[in-house]
């Protein structure tokens, strides 16, 4: 609730300090005394844009500061944490405007922008002026009212939990379906490429090895001739080189007794002989591996040609790169199949969740439909009490084509202001003053069920008097049992019910300038002020007695 409001250098307010209590705070004063100016200053706290024309003294800045007790306002504390602001038992909100027009806003001395300020203060203050009835027009607020009175909190929790899950699955399903659609455009071509590579089934480095093998085969006759010639010289000629080396080794062996140093040379020649024989053997082995098979050459040429074409097609230069592409295509095709399976599972989940959402949604709709006629009758009765005897209020449920976050239906508040049988949305059928009274009736109904912010009513009783004004006063008094209410009024019946009575007036300062002042009225002052509202500037004894009776 609002604990204190301080206003400095704003319009005709030099300095003002207001401390409302936690129940029904009445604000009265003559027209032009500055009641609306106080509301204007309060609007700055709520995030309204600033105007330098409000500065009295251009050499000083305008400062409006409001202190709120938030000890029991869990929703506001959560909003503070979400905005990364300090949480304390009291919250101080301040607006400053300098002469250049620059405005700054602070929450517990931390600078914030107006968007943040507006979202936060909406949880602290409901400034319900005569021509500011957006809450009643809002679909979300209308649903909120019906659900609160129907005690739908538990059903809504279940519905929202399932709807959130349904939305998540819907998004995931759409994403995978879009992915599948994109992949489907390429899947046939990828399958062709995969099948083509699978047909040849290249081994690692096969194309490079085939190319080398073909080079060998194309020169096979030359290679065989050279291998044969070398083997012939070493081991098969008339005087094979290997045999000659062996013969010379034997000669050296025969003189090793006479020349011991010849023994080592003998051994070296025997080693050369053995190496020559081994080389001849390997030459023969190599020769046996060289094929001059034309059919094999044709097969290799065809495979090499296919491999080179595939390399060019895929813009690569090696067999291993082709194999990597083949594996990648296989993985992508497998992923396409996996995606299809995933989509099938998601579609199954999606259908089950949608069925569950519709089942709980119907339960929610039935509960709303059950309370709607009761609410319609209750508000119609209350409107008659507050000066709208010909008004008929109706809560209508319109079924939606598809489920939404709030349910399967839309709530519409409708009004027939003159028993014409023509119901219209309440914002189109009611005047500003009527909207204010409708809002008062609705909020008084839900006051016990939920936490409401500080409620400020600006002349909600305009255009009524007598018994209707008394009923409005009673509604405000009932509302103030559970919530802090601040009401600007010209009706003595309403003013008499205040737990604290603020009187707004003008007076000349020492410098001769007119300033708005506010003071709290004691009981007798309150009676006299109400008597003035009844009987004029100089109230009669009858007016004073009437005022005393109203105050009780």
- Sequential DSSP letters for 429-480: HS-HHHHHHHHHHHHHHHTTTS---EEEEESTTTT--HHHHHHHHHHHHHHH
Longest dimension (CA), the chain: 168
Report residue 48's pLDDT band, with 50, 70 and 90 as the boundaries. confident
Nearest 5°: the CA angle 495, 499, 504 is 55
Helix (H) or strand (E) holding 515: strand 514-520
How far apart CA 147 and CA 153 sit, in angstroms, is: 7
Average pLDDT value over all residues in the chain = 87
Q: Return the minimum-mean-pLDDT range out of 26-35, 215-224, 276-285, 352-361.
A: 215-224
Q: Return the minimum-mean-pLDDT range out of 74-78, 210-214, 345-349.
A: 210-214
Nearest to 546 by CA among 537, 535, 465: 535
For residue 511, the model assigns a pLDDT of: 73
The mean per-residue pLDDT over the stretch 434-451 comes to 83
Instruction: Identify which has the larger pLDDT, 133 or 82.
Output: 82
pLDDT at 125 over 50: yes
Instruction: Identify which has the larger pLDDT, 135 or 168.
Output: 168
The mean per-residue pLDDT over the stretch 467-483 comes to 89
User: Which CA distances in Å does 201 have to 197, 320, 469?
Assistant: 6, 11, 94
How far apart CA 213 and CA 3 sit, in angstroms, is: 96
- Decide: pTM greater than 0.85: no
Instruction: Give 263's Cβ-side CA count (13 Å radius).
Output: 6
For residue 112, the model assigns a pLDDT of: 93
How far apart CA 402 and CA 39 sit, in angstroms, is: 43
Residue 485 tokens read as 């209410």
Report residue 133's pLDDT band, with 50, 70 and 90 as the boundaries. low
Of all residues in the chain, what percent carry a pLDDT higher than 90? Answer: 41
Report residue 130's pLDDT band, with 50, 70 and 90 as the boundaries. very low
pLDDT single digits (tens) 346-398 = 999 999 999 999 999 999 999 999 999 999 999 999 999 888 899 999 999 99
Beta strands in 11-117 (DSSP E): 13-18, 24-29, 62-69, 90-97, 103-107, 110-112
Residue 207 tokens read as 């194309």
For residue 542, the model assigns a pLDDT of: 93
How far apart CA 371 and CA 364 sit, in angstroms, is: 11
For residue 117, the model assigns a pLDDT of: 92
Residues recorded for the chain: 552
- Positive or negative, the Cα torsion across 262, 263, 268, 270? positive
pLDDT single digits (tens) 285-340 = 887 877 666 777 788 888 888 899 989 998 999 999 999 998 988 887 777 777 78
For residue 128, the model assigns a pLDDT of: 60
Q: Return the minimum-mean-pLDDT range out of 126-130, 200-204, 440-444, 450-454.
A: 126-130
Across 149-158, 303-312, 465-474, which has the greatest mean pLDDT? 149-158
Report residue 548's pLDDT band, with 50, 70 and 90 as the boundaries. very high
Report residue 131's pLDDT band, with 50, 70 and 90 as the boundaries. very low
Q: SS3 letters for 384-430?
A: HHCCCCCCEEEEEEEEEEEEECCEEEEEEEEEECCCCCCCEEHHHHC
Under DSSP, the state recorded for 166 is H
- Please report where in the chains the tokens 């202190």 appear, as a residue: 67
Q: Do residues 123 and 76 touch, judged by C-beta distance below 8 A? A: yes
For residue 292, the model assigns a pLDDT of: 64
Q: Which residues, 6+ apart, have CB-to-CB distance to 184 below 8 Å?
A: 336
> Three-state DSSP class for 19?
coil
**Which phi-psi region, left, alpha or beta, contains residue 399 (left: φ > 0; alpha: ψ -120 to 50)?**
beta
Q: Do residues 87 and 7 touch, judged by C-beta distance below 8 A? A: no
- Please report where in the chains the tokens 């008339």 appear, as a residue: 238
Instruction: Please state at what angle helix 432-446 crosses helix 139-149, rounded to 10 degrees.
Output: 40
User: CA 202, 208, 214, 215: dihedral to nearest 10 degrees?
Assistant: 180
pLDDT at 129 over 60: no
pLDDT at 472 over 80: yes
How far apart CA 63 and CA 244 sit, in angstroms, is: 121
pLDDT at 463 over 90: no
Instruction: Identify which has the larger pLDDT, 73 or 127.
Output: 73
pLDDT single digits (tens) 57-72 = 778 899 999 999 998 8
């Amino acid at each position: 609730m609002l604990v204190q409001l301080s206003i400095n250098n704003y319009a005709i307010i030099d300095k003002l300090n207001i401390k409302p209590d936690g129940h029904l705070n009445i604000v009265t004063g003559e027209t032009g005394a500055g009641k609306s100016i106080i509301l204007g200053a309060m609007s700055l706290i709520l995030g309204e844009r600033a105007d330098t024309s409000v500065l009295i003294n251009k050499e000083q800045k305008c400062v409006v500061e409001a202190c709120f007790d938030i000890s029991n306002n869990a929703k506001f504390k959560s909003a503070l944490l979400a905005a990364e602001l300090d949480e304390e038992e009291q919250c101080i909100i301040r607006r400053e405007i300098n002469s250049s027009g620059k405005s700054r806003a602070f929450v517990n001395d931390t600078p914030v922008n107006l968007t943040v300020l507006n979202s936060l203060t909406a949880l602290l203050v409901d400034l319900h002026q005569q021509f500011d009835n957006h809450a009643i027009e809002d679909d979300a607020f209308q649903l909120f009212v019906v659900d609160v009175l129907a005690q739908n909190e538990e059903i809504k929790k279940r519905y929202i939990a399932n709807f959130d899950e349904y939305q998540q699955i819907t998004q995931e399903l759409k994403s995978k379906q879009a992915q599948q659609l994109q992949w489907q455009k390429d899947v046939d071509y990828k399958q062709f490429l995969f099948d083509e590579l699978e047909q040849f089934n290249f081994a690692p480095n096969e194309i490079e090895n085939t190319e080398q093998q073909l080079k060998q085969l194309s020169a096979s006759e030359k290679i065989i001739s050279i291998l044969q010639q070398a083997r012939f010289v070493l081991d098969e000629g008339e005087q094979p080189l290997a045999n000659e080396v062996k013969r010379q080794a034997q000669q050296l062996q025969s003189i090793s007794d006479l020349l011991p140093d010849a023994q080592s040379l003998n051994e070296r020649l025997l080693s050369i002989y053995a190496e020559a024989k081994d080389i001849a053997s390997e030459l023969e082995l190599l020769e046996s591996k060289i094929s001059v098979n034309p059919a094999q050459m044709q097969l290799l040429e065809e495979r090499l040609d296919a491999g080179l074409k595939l390399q060019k097609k895929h813009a690569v230069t090696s067999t291993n790169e082709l194999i990597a592409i083949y594996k990648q295509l296989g993985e992508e095709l497998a992923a396409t199949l996996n995606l299809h399976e995933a989509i099938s599972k998601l579609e199954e989940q999606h259908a089950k969740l949608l069925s569950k959402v519709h089942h709980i949604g119907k339960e929610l709709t039935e509960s709303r439909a059950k309370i709607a006629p009761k609410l319609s009758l209750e508000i119609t009765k209350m409107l008659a009490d507050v000066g709208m005897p010909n008004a008929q209020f109706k809560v209508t449920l319109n079924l939606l084509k598809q489920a939404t976050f709030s349910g399967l239906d839309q709530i519409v508040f409708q009004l027939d202001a003159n028993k014409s049988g023509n119901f219209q949305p309440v914002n189109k059928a009611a005047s500003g003053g009527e909207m204010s009274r409708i809002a008062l009736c609705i909020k008084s109904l839900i006051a016990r069920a939920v936490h409401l912010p500080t409620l400020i009513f600006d002349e909600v009783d305009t255009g009524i008097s007598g018994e209707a004004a008394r009923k409005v006063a009673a509604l405000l008094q009932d509302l103030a049992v559970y919530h802090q209410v601040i009401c600007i009024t010209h009706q003595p019946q309403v003013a008499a019910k205040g737990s604290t009575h603020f009187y707004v007036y003008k007076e000349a300062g020492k410098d001769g300038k007119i300033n708005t002042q506010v003071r709290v009225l004691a009981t007798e002052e309150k009676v006299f002020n109400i008597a003035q509202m009844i009987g004029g500037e100089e109230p009669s004894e009858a007016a004073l007695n009437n005022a005393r009776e109203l105050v009780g």
